Amino acid sequence: MGDMMAISLDQVSVKFDDLCVIDDISISIDDARIGIIGANGSGKSTMARLIAGLIKPDAGQVTVNGVDVYNDRKAALDTVGIIFQNPDHQIIFPTCAEEIAFGLTQKGMKRKAADARARAVLVEHGRGDWADRLAHQLSQGQRHYLCLMSVLAMGPDVIVLDEPYAGLDLVTSMQLQRTLAGLDQQVVMITHDTDLLADFDLVIWMDQGRVVANDRPDQVIPKFIDDMKARANAVD
């Protein structure tokens, strides 16, 4: 893992057509566990994709551990990985071993070596019997875990998770939570479930493309919940 461990957004803005979804955000984050919360449409998922280097900001720059993650995609592969809410938007190969090996070949590993490493990763996670199993035959929770193993195999410094618990049953959620808690990587997690962030180092509250608050969970979450209740009551 890199020594810098810092995510930086410098005057970053993103527009989709005429809608400003990220509005001139400047923030530097060096905490190990970061949660991002906000109402639907607040810019959370766009923030995740910016940090992962998947979209280009219309203004400003995003760096992770000093790497311009959008413009330097080769370095970004070593720096940050992302796991989407829907694993079917991420898995592109038939078998589990092929899915994990793909990221390794993207980093320059020869195909035979990548396949061997992919199979070793599955064994390390107690899923050696998945190697030749078809990914689409896995449950949603298992596919989430396959995506996580694929990202971990690439050894990034930062892992971004966009609603990773959506659609998971309780047992799978608990297994995923335990796995994430044991990671050495810096973790950025977008979630609607504020209970998952109670022991995180930092919570970022976003609204209308801006950062409303950026502090410890006990300082941000109660205010966020009060605001969401007020909005709900205003609709009644």
Distance, in Å, from the CA atom of 122 to the CA atom of 140, rounded to the nearest integer, reads 17
Is the pLDDT assigned to residue 2 strictly greater than 50?
Answer: no
pLDDT reported for residue 236: 61
Distance, in Å, from the CA atom of 63 to the CA atom of 35, rounded to the nearest integer, reads 18
Is the pLDDT assigned to residue 36 strictly greater than 90?
Answer: yes
Distance, in Å, from the CA atom of 198 to the CA atom of 70, rounded to the nearest integer, reads 31
pLDDT reported for residue 5: 62
163's enclosing H/E stretch is none
What does the mean pLDDT of the chain come to? 92
- Which residue is associated with the tokens 């195999």? 153
**43 falls in which pLDDT band (50, 70, 90)?**
very high
Is the pLDDT assigned to residue 151 strictly greater than 60?
Answer: yes
Distance, in Å, from the CA atom of 51 to the CA atom of 226, rounded to the nearest integer, reads 28
Asked if residue 214 lies in contact with residue 188, where contact means CB atoms within 8 angstroms, the answer is no
Instruction: Look up residue 189 and give its DSSP letter.
Output: E
- What is the token pair recorded at 87? 């694993």
pLDDT reported for residue 130: 96
Q: Which of 56-60, 150-154, 172-176 has the lowest mean pLDDT?
A: 172-176
Q: Which of 26-40, 45-59, 105-119, 156-170 has the lowest mean pLDDT?
A: 156-170
Q: Which residue segments constitute the domains of the chain, with CATH numbers given?
A: 32-43+72-94+134-235 (3.40.50.300)
- Please, what is the Cα angle at 35 between 9 and 149, to 5 degrees? 95
Distance, in Å, from the CA atom of 104 to the CA atom of 107, rounded to the nearest integer, reads 5
Distance, in Å, from the CA atom of 236 to the CA atom of 232, rounded to the nearest integer, reads 7
Per-residue CA distances from 235 to 41, 192, 212, 225, 231 (Å): 17, 19, 22, 16, 7
Distance, in Å, from the CA atom of 114 to the CA atom of 97, rounded to the nearest integer, reads 9
pLDDT reported for residue 167: 74
Tell me the pairing of strands 33-37 and 202-207.
parallel
pLDDT reported for residue 121: 95
- Please, what is the Cα angle at 161 between 157 and 164, to 5 degrees? 145
**3 falls in which pLDDT band (50, 70, 90)?**
very low
Distance, in Å, from the CA atom of 224 to the CA atom of 39, rounded to the nearest integer, reads 9
Helix (H), strand (E) counts: the chain: 7, 10
Tell me: the pLDDT tens digits for 74-112? 899 889 999 988 889 899 999 999 999 999 999 899 999
Is the pLDDT assigned to residue 158 strictly greater than 80?
Answer: yes
Rg from Cα positions in the chain: 18
pLDDT reported for residue 16: 92
- Helix, strand, or coil here: 186? strand
Tell me: the pLDDT tens digits for 172-206? 788 888 888 888 999 999 999 999 999 999 999 99
Would you list the DSSP string of 77-109? HHHEEEE-SSGGGT--SSBHHHHHHHHHHHTT-
